[in-house]
Amino acid sequence: MTPLETEALLLSLRVAGWSVLLNLPLGLAAAWALARLRFPGKFLFDGIVHLPLIVPPVVIGYLLLVGLGRNGWIGSWLHDVFGLTLTFSWRGAAVASAVMSFPLMVRAIRLSIEAVDRRLEQAARTLGASPPWVFATVTLPLIVPGLITGTILAFARSLGEFGATITFVSNIPGETRTLPLALYTLVQAPDGEAAAARIVVISVALALGALILSEFLARKSRTGEESE
Amino acid sequence: MPARRLFFGVIVASFAVAAGAVAAAPTRVSVYAAASLTDVMRAIDAEAKAQGKPACICVHAATSVLARQIERGAPADIFISANPQWMAYVVHKLKLRQGPRLFAGNRLVLIAPASQPLDFDFGSGRSLAKVLDGGWLALADPDHVPAGIYAMKGLQHLGQWEALAGRVARAQNVRAALALVTRKEARAGVVYESDAISEKRVNMVDFFPEGSHPEVQYMAAALNDTPSPQVADYLDFLTSPPVAAMLSAHGLRPPGN
């Protein structure tokens, strides 16, 4: 692999990895709220969570730029207090990927939570367990397949994220030029077909790898449950 | 069944209406032009309509993006590139025999946000990277966009490029680079003079010295060796004196200057 490809691949993995790490706790919380809680404005919250799924990615990227850019509402605060700049940085790329893949994570985990037999949880409560303990020892193990599915979906979505990334953090080699952005750049260059084809092969191999891993993990967690 | 017949009748009728609408639509000239020509093409289109010529379907993007689309069969009648190389690429790929015409010229300028002026000029010999002090320099992508290629060549010629490596924000086209500076995300940027004067929120810091980069030349050509009379007429119109006046008004250089 050429240096450009290695750089894009490693950057893609890093951005997608951090995006998933960001999304896991937030996604779990949001999925729990949507599955178990009843609160005013729940419908609106559900809509906002699913917005990145239906709104064009460039729009999300632009909104991120307005809000989290150097001079955005939250962005200027981040810059002044933490010295953190998200634009032109892989951190911004990770945030963009996280936002775009959030709905997928939430949906997968929410389905899993809704499928949990409440009576098991209630039984644990009658045996004296506190709600956090019930969650940690009864609910969480039961929703592991949903967590895995959500993680893999979010990871795969982050690997393929383009529109929001290029709008929010631009196309900086080594910082934000992930595999899709590298492919886009090569497609614009004259006679970049050969190099572009190589990136396509790498991307497809990566995606297949992620799928196989998710199948493996899902199967393992299922046999784990059956043997108990 | 009567319901099914009614349903199919509606489908067929709607196709007929659509076909009729398409056939009745007045012909327009499809112009694929560099992103930096967005404002001037709007003015040219208004003038064309005033003169009774067809309106244009103006598609603006980075010259490189447009050239690749045209190569793959995009339905363009006329192509206006921001450098001769991409025009030569299109002429070669489409096997055109008609030579392209010079449409306009432009100048490259260093810009900074109006509220954050930059104290720099190319003649002083100071390092731009030092003056930027860790801030980003926004350019159109130097890998393929003409504005970025000119900028990179200019900065290389002036010995500034090496020091700037790692602080260059590559935008999809020169207008996106302008937007980065307007939004103050980038500390400075390199765009065309015509882009800089179109945006009040940025100030021109200094022009690139003459000869530091290849001359900026916009080339125009019909994408068919035997264009329709409308397209041929429109191309002549694009290289006529009234349009040359509009180019000047927008900060571009008319051909022959």
| Residue B23 pLDDT | 54
Sign of the four-CA dihedral A82, A88, A89, A94: positive
Residues A186-210, mean pLDDT to the nearest whole number: 87
Neighboring chain B residues of A189 at a CB cutoff of 8 Å: 64, 143-144
Among candidates B213, B225, B226, B234, which has minimal Cα distance to B103? Answer: B234
Please say if the pLDDT value at position B148 is more than 60.
yes
| Residue B14 pLDDT | 77
| Residue B127 pLDDT | 92
Report how many Cβ contacts below 8 Å link chain A to chain B: 47
**Residue B188 forms contact with A (CB below 8 Å):** no
Count other Cβ atoms within 10 Å, centred on residue A29.
12
Residue A43 in any domain: the answer is no
Residues A99-125, mean pLDDT to the nearest whole number: 93
Residues A12-32, mean pLDDT to the nearest whole number: 95
pLDDT in tens, A59-103: 999 899 889 988 888 888 888 888 888 988 999 999 999 999 999
CA nearest to B143 within chain A: A189
Residue A73 in any domain: the answer is yes
Alpha helices per DSSP H over A55-114: 57-68, 73-82, 90-114
Number of domains in chain A: 1
Which residues are CB-neighbours of B134 under 8 A, at least 6 positions away?
Answer: B167
pLDDT in tens, B186-228: 999 999 999 999 999 999 999 999 999 999 999 999 999 898 9
Which residues are CB-neighbours of B173 under 8 A, at least 6 positions away?
Answer: B35, B36, B61, B62, B65, B140, B145, B147
pLDDT in tens, A156-183: 999 999 999 988 888 888 888 999 999 9
Which residues are CB-neighbours of A207 under 8 A, at least 6 positions away?
Answer: A156, A159, A160
| Residue B191 pLDDT | 96
Query: Residue B180 and residue B175: Cα distance in Å, rounded?
Result: 9
pLDDT in tens, B71-128: 989 999 999 999 999 999 999 999 999 889 999 999 999 999 999 999 999 988 899 9
CATH number, residue A61: 1.10.3720.10
Please say if the pLDDT value at position B70 is more than 60.
yes
- Per-residue DSSP letters for chain B? -HHHHHHHHHHHHHHHHHHHHHHHSPP-EEEEEEGGGHHHHHHHHHHHHHTTPPPEEEEEE-HHHHHHHHHTT---SEEEESSHHHHHHHHHHHT--SPPEEEEEE-EEEEEETTS-----GGG---HHHHHTT--EEEE-TTT-HHHHHHHHHHHHTT-HHHHTTSEEEESSHHHHHHHHHTTSSSEEEEEHHHHHH-TTEEEEEEPPTTSSPPEEEEEEESSSS--HHHHHHHHHHTSHHHHHHHHHTTPBPTT-
**Residue B144 forms contact with A (CB below 8 Å):** yes
| Residue A101 pLDDT | 96
- CB contact (8 A) between residue B144 and residue A170: no
**Residue B122 forms contact with A (CB below 8 Å):** no
CATH topology of domain B27-105+217-249: D-Maltodextrin-Binding Protein; domain 2 (3.40.190)
- CB contact (8 A) between residue B185 and residue A88: yes
DSSP assignment, residue A137? I
Residue A170 in any domain: the answer is yes
Domains B27-105+217-249 and B108-207 agree in fold: yes
For testing contact with chain A, the best of B185, B187, B201 (most A CBs within 10 A)? B185
- ipTM for this model: 0.72
Q: Which CATH architecture has domain B108-207?
A: 3-Layer(aba) Sandwich (3.40)
What residues does each domain of chain B span? 27-105+217-249, 108-207
Confidence bin at B26 (pLDDT 50/70/90): low
